[in-house]
Amino acid sequence: MTKSNQSAEPALYQPVPLVIADGDEGVQLNHGRRFAFLGSGFRLVHFSKIIKSLQKVINDNFPQEQVDKKLKFAASEENAWFKEKLKLNDWDETNASTQQHLAALADQLKFEYVGILPFADPKELKSEVKGHMVRPHDMHLANQVCFTIAGGEEVYNLGQYLISADWLADFTNNGKKNLLEAKELLQTQVDFYQSLAGDNKLKVLIEKQGPFEQKLVEKNQEILDKIII
Protein backbone atom coordinates (compact mmCIF):
# COMPACT_ATOMS: atom_id res chain seq x y z
CA MET A 1 0.00 0.00 0.00
CA THR A 2 1.37 3.41 -0.90
CA LYS A 3 1.81 6.13 1.62
CA SER A 4 -0.92 8.22 0.01
CA ASN A 5 -3.38 5.32 0.27
CA GLN A 6 -2.56 4.82 3.93
CA SER A 7 -3.30 8.43 4.75
CA ALA A 8 -6.50 8.63 2.71
CA GLU A 9 -9.58 9.26 4.82
CA PRO A 10 -12.61 7.00 4.42
CA ALA A 11 -15.41 8.39 2.29
CA LEU A 12 -17.87 10.44 4.30
CA TYR A 13 -21.23 8.74 4.69
CA GLN A 14 -23.99 10.59 2.85
CA PRO A 15 -27.43 10.14 4.44
CA VAL A 16 -30.28 9.33 2.05
CA PRO A 17 -33.78 7.89 2.53
CA LEU A 18 -33.77 4.17 3.36
CA VAL A 19 -36.24 2.43 1.07
CA ILE A 20 -37.95 -0.95 0.87
CA ALA A 21 -38.34 -1.59 -2.87
CA ASP A 22 -38.60 -4.49 -5.27
CA GLY A 23 -35.48 -6.37 -6.33
CA ASP A 24 -36.34 -5.98 -10.03
CA GLU A 25 -33.19 -5.11 -11.98
CA GLY A 26 -34.98 -2.08 -13.42
CA VAL A 27 -35.51 -0.35 -10.07
CA GLN A 28 -33.06 2.53 -9.74
CA LEU A 29 -33.06 4.94 -6.83
CA ASN A 30 -31.40 8.23 -7.70
CA HIS A 31 -31.88 9.42 -4.13
CA GLY A 32 -32.32 6.63 -1.63
CA ARG A 33 -30.70 3.40 -0.47
CA ARG A 34 -32.57 0.27 -1.52
CA PHE A 35 -33.30 -2.67 0.74
CA ALA A 36 -34.74 -5.07 -1.80
CA PHE A 37 -37.58 -7.51 -1.19
CA LEU A 38 -39.67 -9.17 -3.87
CA GLY A 39 -42.87 -7.15 -4.32
CA SER A 40 -41.57 -4.74 -1.66
CA GLY A 41 -42.61 -7.45 0.80
CA PHE A 42 -46.18 -7.93 -0.44
CA ARG A 43 -47.39 -11.47 0.36
CA LEU A 44 -43.79 -12.46 0.96
CA VAL A 45 -43.60 -15.20 3.57
CA HIS A 46 -42.39 -14.05 7.04
CA PHE A 47 -41.82 -10.49 5.80
CA SER A 48 -43.81 -8.84 8.60
CA LYS A 49 -41.43 -10.36 11.15
CA ILE A 50 -38.26 -9.83 9.16
CA ILE A 51 -38.95 -6.13 8.54
CA LYS A 52 -38.80 -5.63 12.31
CA SER A 53 -35.32 -7.16 12.42
CA LEU A 54 -34.19 -5.05 9.48
CA GLN A 55 -35.42 -1.85 11.09
CA LYS A 56 -33.72 -2.80 14.36
CA VAL A 57 -30.39 -3.57 12.71
CA ILE A 58 -30.55 -0.25 10.83
CA ASN A 59 -31.34 1.64 14.03
CA ASP A 60 -28.42 0.01 15.82
CA ASN A 61 -25.80 0.03 13.07
CA PHE A 62 -26.21 2.93 10.66
CA PRO A 63 -23.89 5.93 11.07
CA GLN A 64 -25.09 8.81 13.24
CA GLU A 65 -25.17 10.99 10.11
CA GLN A 66 -28.25 8.98 9.08
CA VAL A 67 -30.67 10.97 11.25
CA ASP A 68 -33.81 9.49 9.65
CA LYS A 69 -33.40 5.73 9.97
CA LYS A 70 -37.06 4.85 9.45
CA LEU A 71 -37.63 2.69 6.37
CA LYS A 72 -40.00 3.87 3.65
CA PHE A 73 -41.92 1.70 1.16
CA ALA A 74 -41.81 2.34 -2.59
CA ALA A 75 -43.71 0.53 -5.33
CA SER A 76 -42.46 0.05 -8.89
CA GLU A 77 -44.21 -0.35 -12.22
CA GLU A 78 -44.51 -3.66 -14.09
CA ASN A 79 -44.15 -5.71 -10.93
CA ALA A 80 -44.32 -9.35 -12.00
CA TRP A 81 -44.80 -10.62 -8.43
CA PHE A 82 -47.92 -8.50 -7.93
CA LYS A 83 -49.28 -9.50 -11.33
CA GLU A 84 -48.88 -13.18 -10.50
CA LYS A 85 -50.12 -13.02 -6.91
CA LEU A 86 -53.21 -10.97 -7.77
CA LYS A 87 -53.85 -12.81 -11.07
CA LEU A 88 -54.03 -9.56 -13.03
CA ASN A 89 -54.37 -9.21 -16.79
CA ASP A 90 -52.09 -6.36 -17.81
CA TRP A 91 -49.53 -3.87 -16.54
CA ASP A 92 -51.95 -0.93 -16.21
CA GLU A 93 -54.11 -2.98 -13.88
CA THR A 94 -51.02 -4.26 -12.08
CA ASN A 95 -49.54 -0.78 -11.56
CA ALA A 96 -52.78 0.50 -10.03
CA SER A 97 -53.20 -2.52 -7.76
CA THR A 98 -49.55 -2.43 -6.71
CA GLN A 99 -49.94 1.09 -5.34
CA GLN A 100 -53.14 0.29 -3.45
CA HIS A 101 -51.88 -2.92 -1.88
CA LEU A 102 -48.44 -1.61 -0.99
CA ALA A 103 -49.84 1.54 0.59
CA ALA A 104 -52.07 -0.71 2.70
CA LEU A 105 -49.16 -2.97 3.65
CA ALA A 106 -46.98 -0.05 4.69
CA ASP A 107 -49.81 1.37 6.77
CA GLN A 108 -50.44 -2.00 8.41
CA LEU A 109 -46.76 -2.32 9.35
CA LYS A 110 -46.60 1.36 10.41
CA PHE A 111 -44.22 2.59 7.72
CA GLU A 112 -44.58 5.39 5.19
CA TYR A 113 -45.54 4.61 1.60
CA VAL A 114 -43.82 7.12 -0.69
CA GLY A 115 -45.23 6.30 -4.15
CA ILE A 116 -44.46 4.32 -7.30
CA LEU A 117 -41.31 4.37 -9.44
CA PRO A 118 -42.33 4.89 -13.10
CA PHE A 119 -40.98 4.01 -16.52
CA ALA A 120 -40.05 7.65 -17.11
CA ASP A 121 -37.49 10.21 -16.06
CA PRO A 122 -36.52 10.01 -12.38
CA LYS A 123 -39.49 11.03 -10.27
CA GLU A 124 -39.37 12.56 -6.81
CA LEU A 125 -41.70 10.73 -4.48
CA LYS A 126 -42.55 11.57 -0.87
CA SER A 127 -39.81 12.04 1.75
CA GLU A 128 -37.23 12.99 -0.91
CA VAL A 129 -37.11 9.49 -2.40
CA LYS A 130 -36.30 9.76 -6.11
CA GLY A 131 -36.01 7.10 -8.77
CA HIS A 132 -37.47 5.32 -11.77
CA MET A 133 -37.47 2.12 -13.84
CA VAL A 134 -34.60 1.84 -16.30
CA ARG A 135 -34.99 -1.57 -17.95
CA PRO A 136 -36.98 -1.91 -21.20
CA HIS A 137 -40.74 -2.39 -20.89
CA ASP A 138 -41.85 -5.99 -20.43
CA MET A 139 -38.31 -7.34 -20.59
CA HIS A 140 -35.84 -8.68 -18.02
CA LEU A 141 -32.09 -8.42 -18.57
CA ALA A 142 -30.53 -9.65 -15.32
CA ASN A 143 -28.22 -12.66 -15.37
CA GLN A 144 -27.39 -12.71 -11.67
CA VAL A 145 -28.90 -12.21 -8.24
CA CYS A 146 -27.11 -10.20 -5.57
CA PHE A 147 -27.62 -10.38 -1.81
CA THR A 148 -26.87 -7.25 0.22
CA ILE A 149 -25.48 -7.97 3.70
CA ALA A 150 -23.75 -4.71 4.68
CA GLY A 151 -26.58 -2.18 4.75
CA GLY A 152 -28.48 -2.17 1.48
CA GLU A 153 -27.61 -1.47 -2.14
CA GLU A 154 -24.26 0.21 -2.71
CA VAL A 155 -24.05 0.42 -6.50
CA TYR A 156 -26.91 -0.01 -8.95
CA ASN A 157 -26.47 -2.75 -11.56
CA LEU A 158 -28.98 -3.33 -14.38
CA GLY A 159 -27.62 -6.86 -14.74
CA GLN A 160 -28.79 -8.16 -11.37
CA TYR A 161 -31.81 -8.82 -9.23
CA LEU A 162 -31.33 -7.64 -5.66
CA ILE A 163 -32.26 -9.30 -2.34
CA SER A 164 -31.70 -7.85 1.12
CA ALA A 165 -30.11 -10.25 3.60
CA ASP A 166 -28.91 -7.42 5.84
CA TRP A 167 -31.23 -8.61 8.62
CA LEU A 168 -30.01 -12.21 8.86
CA ALA A 169 -27.85 -12.02 11.98
CA ASP A 170 -30.49 -10.19 13.98
CA PHE A 171 -33.46 -12.28 12.83
CA THR A 172 -31.68 -15.57 13.49
CA ASN A 173 -29.94 -14.44 16.70
CA ASN A 174 -26.58 -15.07 15.02
CA GLY A 175 -27.72 -18.34 13.50
CA LYS A 176 -29.38 -19.82 16.61
CA LYS A 177 -33.07 -19.61 15.57
CA ASN A 178 -35.51 -18.85 12.72
CA LEU A 179 -33.20 -20.36 10.10
CA LEU A 180 -36.02 -22.11 8.24
CA GLU A 181 -38.06 -18.90 8.04
CA ALA A 182 -35.04 -16.94 6.83
CA LYS A 183 -34.26 -19.55 4.19
CA GLU A 184 -37.87 -19.65 3.02
CA LEU A 185 -38.06 -15.89 2.51
CA LEU A 186 -34.76 -15.76 0.64
CA GLN A 187 -35.34 -18.90 -1.43
CA THR A 188 -38.80 -17.72 -2.49
CA GLN A 189 -37.21 -14.65 -4.02
CA VAL A 190 -34.36 -16.52 -5.71
CA ASP A 191 -36.82 -19.01 -7.21
CA PHE A 192 -39.08 -16.27 -8.55
CA TYR A 193 -36.22 -14.36 -10.16
CA GLN A 194 -34.98 -17.62 -11.67
CA SER A 195 -38.44 -18.13 -13.17
CA LEU A 196 -38.14 -14.70 -14.82
CA ALA A 197 -34.71 -15.63 -16.17
CA GLY A 198 -35.98 -18.88 -17.69
CA ASP A 199 -33.31 -21.37 -18.71
CA ASN A 200 -30.47 -18.96 -17.97
CA LYS A 201 -29.13 -20.00 -14.57
CA LEU A 202 -28.65 -16.91 -12.42
CA LYS A 203 -25.22 -16.39 -10.90
CA VAL A 204 -25.16 -15.48 -7.21
CA LEU A 205 -23.21 -12.53 -5.84
CA ILE A 206 -22.88 -10.98 -2.39
CA GLU A 207 -22.51 -7.23 -1.82
CA LYS A 208 -20.15 -6.93 1.15
CA GLN A 209 -19.58 -3.17 1.01
CA GLY A 210 -21.75 -0.82 3.04
CA PRO A 211 -22.17 1.10 6.28
CA PHE A 212 -22.40 -1.94 8.58
CA GLU A 213 -19.38 -2.90 10.68
CA GLN A 214 -17.30 -5.79 9.38
CA LYS A 215 -18.23 -8.11 12.25
CA LEU A 216 -21.93 -7.86 11.40
CA VAL A 217 -21.26 -8.26 7.67
CA GLU A 218 -19.27 -11.42 8.33
CA LYS A 219 -22.01 -12.86 10.52
CA ASN A 220 -24.64 -12.12 7.87
CA GLN A 221 -22.48 -13.85 5.27
CA GLU A 222 -21.83 -16.86 7.50
CA ILE A 223 -25.58 -17.43 7.90
CA LEU A 224 -26.30 -16.74 4.23
CA ASP A 225 -23.66 -19.29 3.21
CA LYS A 226 -25.25 -21.81 5.54
CA ILE A 227 -28.84 -21.53 4.32
CA ILE A 228 -28.66 -20.42 0.68
CA ILE A 229 -25.29 -20.19 -1.07
Round to whole Å and give the CA distance between 113 and 103: 5
pLDDT at 3 over 60: no
Please tell me the pTM assigned to this model: 0.94
Q: Which amino acid is at 13?
A: Y
User: Domain limits of the chain?
Assistant: 16-227
Q: What is the pLDDT of residue 12?
A: 79
List the end-to-end C-alpha distance of the chain, in Å, as a whole number: 32
Band of the pLDDT at 5, cuts 50, 70, 90?
very low
Round to whole Å and give the CA distance between 135 and 25: 7
pLDDT at 90 over 90: yes
Q: What is the pLDDT of residue 7?
A: 40
Mean pLDDT, all residues of the chain? 95
Round to whole Å and give the CA distance between 162 and 144: 9
Range of weakest confidence among 1-5, 8-12, 174-178: 1-5
Whether residue 19 contacts residue 33, with contact meaning beta carbons closer than 8 Å, is answered with yes
Q: What is the pLDDT of residue 88?
A: 97
Burial (CB count within 10 angstroms: exposed 0-12, middle 13-18, buried 19+), residue 208: middle
